[in-house]
Amino acid sequence: MFKKEDQDFKEVETIIGPSVKVEGDFVGHGNLVIEGVVKGSVKTEGNLKVGEKSQVSASVSAANAIISGEIKGSVSIAGDLELTASAKIWGDISAKSICIARGAFLTGNCNMTETGKNNTAKEIETAEEESDVL
């Protein structure tokens, strides 16, 4: 990813293993690794790693993320987002910075913003006006 993968996931708080299926809303504060199946929503203030064989049918929100598996839903990342060659996403993504490997699949809109969150039309208009002044 951004050469910080080992650091970012040194202290993993939660691991959803390959044989685990989770349904519902998952909210956490630490780093999260998903290797199994998740349906609902996933939100963590830490980093997220979605394993190659994982299947996520949920809206996803995290500080930084490395995606290698499948996600069906929106992905909102405050910082860095990496889609590896095996990643498959059906949904809109937004992040501060995005790295998409050759072979990754994405169907949806892709937005890069300062905060990693989708800006409203008013926020975009205000930013454009401020840049015109400079």
Q: Enter the pTM of the model.
A: 0.78
Domain ranges of the chain: 5-133
* Residue-level pLDDT at 125: 55
Half-sphere exposure of 5 (CA within 13 A, CB side): 11
- Look up tokens 């937005």; give the residue: 111
Question: Do 12 and 29 meet the contact criterion of CB atoms below 8 Å apart?
Answer: no
Strands 31-34 and 48-50: parallel
In 3-state terms, what secondary structure has residue 119? coil
Give pLDDT tens digits along the chain (134 positions). Answer: 444 444 456 678 788 999 999 899 999 899 999 999 999 999 999 999 999 999 999 999 999 999 999 999 999 999 999 999 999 999 999 999 999 999 999 999 999 987 655 554 455 455 555 545 54
Q: Which long-range contacts (CB under 8 A, 24 or more apart) does 30-33 make?
A: 32/62, 33/9
* Residue-level pLDDT at 117: 56
* Residue-level pLDDT at 36: 94
